[in-house]
Structure 1
Amino acid sequence: MNQTNERILWEETLPGSSTWSHILKRGTALRLTAIDDNPNVGVLLLNADNLSERLCLPDSLKAQHIARLTAGVALYSDMARILCSITHDTVGWHDPLGGCSDAAMVAKKYGRDDYQHSRNAWHQNGLDGFLIELAKYGLGARDLMMNVNLFSKVEVSELGAMRFVQGNAPAGSAVELRAEMNTLVILNSCQHPMDPDPDYAQKRVALTLKQVAAPGPDDPTRNFRPENARGFTITERYFL
Structure 2
Amino acid sequence: MRVGVLVGVVSCAVAAGCSTTVSGTASDGGVSRDAGGVAEFRPVLSAVAPVAGSAVPTPPGAVAPPACAEYRDRPSVEAGKACRQDPLLGISDEYRAGVVSAFGCDDRALDGKTDSALPLATCGEDGAESFVLGRAILGGDDIAAATASPDPNGTGWTVQLSFRSSAQTVWSEYTREHVQERVAFTVDGRVVSAPTIQSAITGETTVTGGQGGFTEEEATALADRLGG
**If the length of structure 1 is used for normalisation, what is the TM-score?**
0.25
Greater RCO, CA 8 A, separation 6+: 1
Write 1 or 2 for the structure with the bigger share of strand: 1
